Amino acid sequence: MTSVGFSKRSSLIVAALLLALAGCASEPPPVSDKVAQYYSNPPSAAAAAPAPAPVAPAVALLNDKARPWTMQVVGDSTGAGPARWVHVLAARMSAKYDRPVELHEWANASNSYSAPTIVGIATGAPIVIWNGSASGKGTQYSLDNWAAMVPTRPDIVVINHGLNMPDAPSAKAGVAAIISRALLQWPKPTAFAITIQSPRLDSGAATEDVVTAMLRQNWAAGPVAEIDVYKAFKETGSVAPLLVSDHLHPSSKGAEIWADTVQNALGL
């Protein structure tokens, strides 16, 4: 065979191979029935979190003195320490319901709770408050320490964040993440309340105003209860006496109004 003939024959073979490959590319290789079924009907995404439980029935359980009742607080320094609203509320609840309050205070240094304090001398099963108020922390800290901070399913979760959030979108997303985390954890949904925190008079006032407005708007429709401390402070006509010298944290008078607002919003 001449070199010219060989060259023509080779060209024909190459062309035939290219046509065959093109045909293969247009038709996918066969797959098993199970694989085909997967791709035509892929598994659905994870189930959405259930709706929060309504607040009123959760609070009504306080009337059963034989049953322990639990409140979980996750938040920042506005609820931390004996001078703040959580402690004021604990003393009031003990007196109103004639039940001792077992108050657990979060410690940032150990990322754990200190030994509980018993508030009030009363009969009946205790009201248990897990006060996960962490000074200087935002929503991500609560999520990062969730297992230790929320050791058991509570009857109600009070989310008291905003002060340490850098902007409104972060606050909105952080609060939503906490609610979702809790609802997906327990088969029986719990009740929730969101605190619209007090106004501040320092350099962060403008940011705080935007954050509180966002949270108020986002949760106005329920079923999450809103505890509008911002509004309560403003309605006094003078915010300054309700804050300590840093123009940020509540004074003793501010803590009293804060506790009033929690009680009124939740029916405690």
pTM, full prediction:
0.80
Q: Looking at the predicted structure, is the pLDDT value of residue 27 above 60?
A: no
**Three-class SS of residue 158?**
strand
| Cβ atoms within 10 Å of 147's Cβ, excluding its own | 8
List pLDDT tens digits, range 55-109: 999 999 999 999 999 999 999 999 999 999 999 999 999 999 999 999 999 999 9
How confident is residue 48, by pLDDT bands cut at 50, 70 and 90?
Answer: low
How confident is residue 218, by pLDDT bands cut at 50, 70 and 90?
Answer: confident
- CB of 150 closer than 8 Å to CB of 192: no
Please check whether the domain covering 55-266 is classified as CATH 3.40.50.1110.
yes
- CB of 155 closer than 8 Å to CB of 190: yes
Dig out the tokens for 124 from the structure: 């009946």
* Average pLDDT across the chain, whole number: 85
What kind and span of H or E run contains 106? strand 101-107
What span, in angstroms and rounded, lies between the C-alpha atoms of 84 and 229? 13
**Three-class SS of residue 263?**
helix
pLDDT at 31: 43
List pLDDT tens digits, range 29-41: 454 454 344 334 4
List pLDDT tens digits, range 244-262: 999 999 999 999 999 999 9
Query: Half-sphere exposure of 222 toward its Cβ, with a 13 Å CA cutoff?
Result: 9
Alpha helices by DSSP H, 61-167: 85-97, 139-144, 146-149
